[in-house]
Structure 1
């Protein structure tokens, strides 16, 4: 996960969390206020009317034989079902408040195989007749309905989470477009054109990115044309100066010619850098170990102190001429400034890697991040002693990055530098096919 993707995920999570907290807080506050304003009936309001009805039924059943005999059931003892002690005591207290107390009993049968909760019944003592058993309406549980409230709030939280995740995804969609555009930037720095469709904020983001892409492309093309034109136009006056230098005294001629050669190298390097940035590469599978071995042999044949170290079979995908030029620049840099170079080819985390080590003076830690800048030199005074324009590392990095790789430079323990070139691997299926072709 890259940095922008991590930021997008973090923003989406925070937005969803804020929305969930806000929705649940508002619903919870509204529910609390409603419960305060619209109070549920208390036990007194429920039990007192029931107590009056039971007292009336008890009086009628005890005084009127016709009523007592008409469909009423009398038992010698209350039902043997479990007693509801809380409801029984509340009803007895209500009967005591409304008149003479009665030892009524509220029971509920145990849950059977039938679905649903069995109904409650109340047993009323009737003098001379026994116990009058009658069904009783379902009574609300005592106290506030906390379990119902908890379930209600849990349902609200689940719904709010789903809504919040959807809303956060919609809100962060422009950031996702920005992430997609940045990750798809080509080696030439151009952004792909984004379709300007969808909601208003998405269209605005796409339009802004397309304008940015157009301006970047124009600026890069202008810079490339400027550098190429400057390098090309410098050749004519340098040629005239070189001709005029032939008529100078011998003690001045060599100095003039050396300066002109340095200007020529700078112009050639600048044009080469622009060409690497502007021209699309033609990538193809390469046997990196063979390319490096051939390159080391060529440079050693030119009298440079270059040695081939451990080499593993490795394949990459890049432009052969461009990659060879990049590795040549890095090896020559190590051989020239480091007193000799040792080159190895290895596989690190499935990526083909070239390691170039030397035993030179190294680079001060404060300057090591600047080594890839054009025309950079650790010691400007060495420009006169060491030929070059200071663009070798910049060109090498441009080529390697365009090939999907990267370059890292660090100081070596005991002195010197280690240049690590990591390149894009070839898929295992393609690598097997290439080995069959080669072998």
Structure 2
């Protein structure tokens, strides 16, 4: 519900209902209720007139009926106190000695004014005012509910129509893939929606071109570095042994940087097709490969897990992380976990870990912890950046944290697939 569309709808509905409530309250204040005392006076006058006619002789046949005229017995029903007291007070003010009662529910559709005359007979007159509705409260509640529902429906439809371009933008951003590319949107529907879709498609095309241009520039720069570096290697051969060793070390460092930059570019442009693979088998092969070249790395636990991804790219990412652990952390321990639709590769080492204030920067290209500590080790500072690029490109996650007993914990998370 925490969306712009929901907030606008709630604001408009609340505003309209508040206006309706204020208008209804003002209407009740301005519309004066009927003056009951004047009604009582009118009924008392009618009663006196008919009573005098009855005292002089028989009433006309038109004034005789089941609930009107002269009757021998008191009518049945429930006495209504307020009109009874009001009419009796009006009779007293007019100087009449008779007293009446107003009864309701005696089978008559109207309340009945009944009073006993001097000869013992009962004079019955229908009350001139019809009774109020018995379900007035429910009628008012139904009226308010109908207003609320109708207003809400109209506002929801209007807001949805007006905010559809914003909703389209929100849905598009939500479907943004890990590679940063947007799927083309159909330019159909109302004018506003078509204009929004056209703008988003144009933005996506321009962003893609800009990213590809930058990638090509990085690839070209990395590739062009190889030629002067080769010439510098040849010239270094003519230096004395100590100077040659320093030059060769610096050139090796430049070569690693250029090679890492080119590999980053390849991950962006060479998106191989995804296939189903066994993550536990892939990790086991990487561990065996690195152990064969002398790195202290072991597979401590392995749970069978199948994922969908790019095998070569995932192998490169896991190898980078394992080499980091074995090189900077002295010793690497790897395990493969699976459960609840996720597979995980956990790589732990016994190194000094990473300072908490630097954890947020470890994925920055060319950022090296050893450079901060003034303890240079081989590498270009792109291993973690490449690994995260590969893993996120395979719909996965990469998290780094310091272990509770020291060392660094690297955790890869990937969605699993059900094996048939």
Q: Structure 1 length normalisation: TM-score?
A: 0.86
What residue is the counterpart of 2:74 in the other structure? 78
Q: Residues 44-193 of structure 1: matches in 2 within 5 Å?
A: 44-65=37-58, 67=60, 71=64, 73-109=69-105, 118-128=109-119, 130-141=121-132, 152-193=143-184
**Correspondent of 1:262 among 241, 253, 263:** 253
1:41 aligned onto 2:37: no
For 2:182, what is the secondary structure of its paired residue? coil
Q: CA deviation at 1:139?
A: 3.7
Equivalent position of 2:365 in the other structure: 374
Moved more, 27-36 or 314-323: 27-36
Partner of 2:415, secondary structure, is coil
> What count of residue pairs does the alignment treat as equivalent?
415
| Partner-residue secondary structure (3-state), 1:65 | coil
- From the superposition, tell whether residues 267 and 304 of structure 1 become closer, same or farther in structure 2 (CA, over 3 Å): same
Point out where structure 1 has 5 or more consecutive residues left out of the alignment. Answer: 1-5, 112-116, 434-439
C-alpha contact (below 8 Å) 1:15/1:164 kept by paired residues:
no
Distance in 2, matches of 1:59 and 1:68, equals 16
Which residue is 2:355 aligned to? 364
TM value normalised by structure 2: 0.89
Is 1:338 the counterpart of 2:329? The answer is: yes
Partner of 2:17: 24
- For structure 2, the residue ranges without an aligned partner over 5 or more in a row are none
How big is the shift at 1:366? 0.6
CA distance in 2 between partners of 1:379 and 1:154 (Å)? 69
Cα distance in 1 for partners of 2:405, 2:59 equals 118
Is 1:309 the counterpart of 2:300? The answer is yes
Provide the C-alpha distance between the structure 2 equivalents of 1:171 and 1:298, rounded to a whole number of angstroms. 59
- Give the superposition deviation at 1:199: 4.3
Do 1:352 and 1:424's aligned partners in 2 also have CA atoms closer than 8 Å? yes
SS state at 1:62 partner: helix
Return structure 1 stretches of 4+ with deviation > 6 angstroms. Answer: 381-384
Mapped to 1, the partners of 2:62 and 2:72 lie a distance apart of 15
CA RMSD of aligned residues (A): 2.7
Query: Structure 2: how far apart are the matches of 1:109 and 1:64?
Result: 30
C-alpha deviation, 1:66, in angstroms: 5.3
Q: Cα distance, 1:312 vs. partner?
A: 1.0
CA distance in 2, matches of 1:257, 1:411: 35
The whole-number CA distance in structure 2 between the counterparts of 1:355 and 1:66 is: 107
